[in-house]
């Protein structure tokens, strides 16, 4: 059946290509072009379509007579074991093997540090581009646009990365040793600086005489379609000269919608989801018309050579990854065991309420660093652990970022501000939602959030009533004037990640003592005797966080 499906797809593409070729022979000077695209792959090298499927689809299009280009819209090198163990190098190797045409930095391209990303960009056999990633003096870090020729078309590519990168990666990576920002994403002025940077690049590439302009975007869209300053739809409505936007960042599945630009002209907007749920194709027909499609089928399109290349990379890490380090009597979860999302997939709750895995991770930080309080951001807990043996691979999947455990001294007021920041986006998910140890708190959902953030997404103050109430530390009401020891990781405590600006600069009691996944391993092995037991049985946790509607 798989071979039949493959033949049918190949035949369809071939007939389409022949039809286009006949049209071209009749006087048209162009042949069909397909731009294959994906966003937020997050090291999903074999997930869903997989990189072998990407290569398979490309070959099918080429055999059908299409000129092909392959682009990545950010967040490719981080998010799973293969990225963590190689600090992104293995993903660049795969992208080189697939002959990518161009890529853009997503917010998570920076998660291994600025020096490492620059080394990866140098290793890449394809260019990175960005219109809005600049040094503080305004000079671009990468080319602001790229011109490629395919099918007789001259195609201009422009790119934009979310200014939220400052807080959704690690803020200190963009600063000098004294905490001064030395990089910019053209943030601020209610989005106007971002729009201006994109427009400048579009105008420049238009001046090169291109036929089409495609914006490669890691900006994302909102769930309700509203146009916040840094969304891709907002960029479209505030610019002209863009024909299509291949988007990323929000993990949205969007086959092809249209948004009016500043002149009222239609612009295609599309996004593929995450982990290669889909592979997108933007076809430019010989008559200049464009159409998009998302390819979900992956069971018969795998390219054997790419599969073998990926297998060779996996083999290098297999022995250490498959080592059993502990066990658990219960499933440790990031998702709701009794509900599903609208599309039937598991409903993630780690970023909006307490879970047993959140409790476990926070307990690990507090216990191993001997602190009053342990904090873990929901966005830093990335995978479930099934009941049974726990391997090193399981642990890295939970904590793939390689953050370093730290302990600082803070006031009760800093804790209260952090909890308020973490709860301000509920009921929506928030990567900065706080899983806790040594502390309990309640969230009053009837209170309208009044957290003020700056143009980089960092906490400034709370101006009204607080949602977070009845906070206790060690069973006693928190004292805003008292000092407490807080264990977490450098991303929050030293770098202000997720906008937690209240922590950097606090007295450091323990600095970079263990990598995050080693904290979790050591806690289970040394403190729990190698077995996670019934105290973590409830998937909704131990009642540390109460949400009152």
CATH 3.60.21.10 at 2-312, yes or no: yes
The SS3 assignment for 331 reads coil
Query: What Rg do the C-alpha atoms of the chain give, in angstroms?
Result: 24
Sequence-separated contacts (24+) of 429-432 with Cβ below 8 Å: 429/348, 429/351, 429/352, 429/378, 430/351, 430/352, 430/378, 430/379, 430/498, 431/168, 431/351, 431/377, 431/378, 431/379, 431/380, 431/498, 432/377, 432/378, 432/379, 432/497, 432/498, 432/499, 432/500
Q: Of 122, 56, 44, nearest to 89 (Cα)?
A: 122
The pair of three-digit structure tokens given for residue 21, joined into one six-digit string: 């070729």
Q: What share of the chain is helix, strand, coil (3-state, %, to 5)?
A: 30, 25, 40
The pair of three-digit structure tokens given for residue 405, joined into one six-digit string: 């455990």
State the angle between helix axes of 304-321 and 89-97 in degrees (0 to 180), rounded to the nearest 10.
170
Each residue of 220-241: pLDDT tens digit?
998 777 778 899 999 999 999 9
| CATH class name, domain 324-548 | alpha beta
Q: Which of 163-177, 196-210, 398-412, 533-547 has the lowest mean pLDDT?
A: 163-177
pLDDT of residue 1 exceeding 50, the answer is no
Q: Do 157 and 71 meet the contact criterion of CB atoms below 8 Å apart?
A: yes
The pair of three-digit structure tokens given for residue 60, joined into one six-digit string: 């099918």
Distances (CA, A) of 380 to 111, 340, 370, 498: 12, 21, 21, 10
Residues 386 and 332: their CA atoms lie apart, in Å, by 6
pLDDT of residue 352 exceeding 60, the answer is yes
User: DSSP assignment of 431-468, as one string?
Assistant: TTPEEEESEEEEEETTSPP-EEE-TTS-EEEE-S--SE
Is the C-alpha dihedral spanning 295, 344, 232, 262 positive or negative?
positive
pLDDT of residue 22 exceeding 60, the answer is no
Confidence of residue 28 (pLDDT cuts 50, 70, 90): low
Each residue of 275-323: pLDDT tens digit?
999 999 999 999 999 999 999 876 567 999 999 999 999 888 887 788 8
Indicate the average pLDDT of the chain: 91
- Give, as one character, the DSSP assignment of residue 526: I
Res 9: pLDDT = 52
Share of the chain above pLDDT 70, in %: 94
SS3 per-residue string spanning 70-88: EEECCCCCCCCHHHHHHCC
Q: Of 225, 214, 346, 340, nearest to 280 (Cα)?
A: 214
Q: Do 103 and 131 meet the contact criterion of CB atoms below 8 Å apart?
A: no
Q: Of 457, 453, 449, 441, nearest to 497 (Cα)?
A: 457
Boundaries of every domain in the chain: 2-312, 324-548
Each residue of 112-129: pLDDT tens digit?
889 999 999 999 999 999
pTM, whole model, 2 decimals?
A: 0.76
């Amino acid at each position: 059946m798989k071979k039949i499906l493959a033949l049918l797809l190949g035949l369809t593409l071939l007939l389409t290509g022949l039809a286009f070729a006949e049209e071209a022979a009749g006087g048209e000077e162009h042949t069909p072009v397909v731009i294959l695209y994906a966003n937020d792959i997050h090291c999903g090298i074999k997930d869903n379509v997989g990189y072998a499927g990407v290569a398979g689809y490309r070959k099918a299009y080429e055999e059908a007579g299409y000129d092909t280009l392959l682009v990545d819209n950010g967040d490719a090198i981080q998010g799973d074991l293969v990225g963590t163990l190689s600090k992104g190098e293995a993903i660049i190797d795969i992208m080189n093997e697939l002959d990518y045409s161009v890529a853009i930095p997503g917010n998570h391209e920076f998660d291994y540090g600025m020096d490492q990303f620059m080394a990866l960009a140098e290793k890449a056999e394809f260019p990175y581009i960005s219109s809005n990633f600049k040094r503080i003096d305004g000079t671009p870090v990468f080319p602001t646009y790229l011109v490629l020729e395919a099918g007789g078309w001259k195609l201009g590519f422009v790119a934009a990365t979310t200014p939220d990168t400052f807080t959704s990666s690690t803020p200190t990576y963009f600063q000098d040793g004294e905490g001064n920002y030395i990089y910019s994403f053209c943030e601020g002025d209610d989005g106007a600086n971002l729009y201006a940077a994109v427009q400048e690049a579009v105008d420049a590439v238009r001046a090169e005489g291109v036929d089409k302009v495609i914006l490669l975007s890691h900006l994302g869209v909102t769930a309700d379609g509203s146009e916040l300053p840094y969304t891709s739809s907002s960029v479209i409505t505030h610019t002209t000269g863009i024909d299509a936007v291949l988007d990323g960042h929000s993990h949205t599945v969007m086959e092809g919608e249209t948004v009016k630009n500043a002149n009222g002209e239609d612009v295609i907007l599309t996004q593929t989801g995450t982990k290669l749920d889909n592979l997108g194709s933007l076809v430019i027909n010989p008559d200049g018309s464009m159409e998009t499609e998302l390819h979900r089928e992956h069971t018969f399109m795998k390219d054997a050579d790419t599969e073998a290349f990926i297998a060779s990379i996996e083999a290098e890490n297999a022995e250490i990854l498959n080592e059993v380090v502990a066990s658990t009597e219960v499933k440790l979860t990031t998702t709701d065991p009794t509900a599903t999302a609208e599309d039937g997939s598991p409903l993630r709750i780690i970023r909006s309420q307490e879970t047993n895995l959140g409790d476990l991770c926070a307990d690990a930080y507090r216990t191993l660093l001997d602190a009053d309080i342990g904090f873990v951001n929901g966005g830093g807990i990335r995978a479930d652990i099934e009941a049974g043996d726990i391997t090193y691979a399981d642990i890295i999947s939970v904590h793939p970022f390689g953050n370093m455990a730290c302990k600082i001294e803070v006031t009760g007021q800093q804790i209260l501000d952090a909890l308020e920041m973490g709860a301000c986006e509920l009921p929506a998910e928030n990567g900065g939602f706080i899983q806790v140890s040594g502390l309990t708190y309640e969230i009053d959902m009837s209170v309208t959030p009044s957290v003020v953030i700056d143009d980089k997404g960092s906490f400034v103050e709370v101006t009204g009533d607080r949602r977070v109430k009845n906070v206790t530390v060690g069973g006693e009401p928190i004292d805003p004037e008292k000092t407490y020891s807080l264990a977490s990781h450098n991303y929050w405590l030293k770098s202000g990640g997720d906008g937690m600006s209240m922590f950097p600069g606090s007295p450091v009691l323990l600095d970079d003592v263990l990598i995050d996944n080693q904290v979790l391993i050591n806690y289970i092995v040394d403190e729990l005797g190698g077995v996670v037991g019934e105290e973590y049985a409830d998937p909704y946790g131990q009642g540390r966080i109460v949400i009152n509607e």
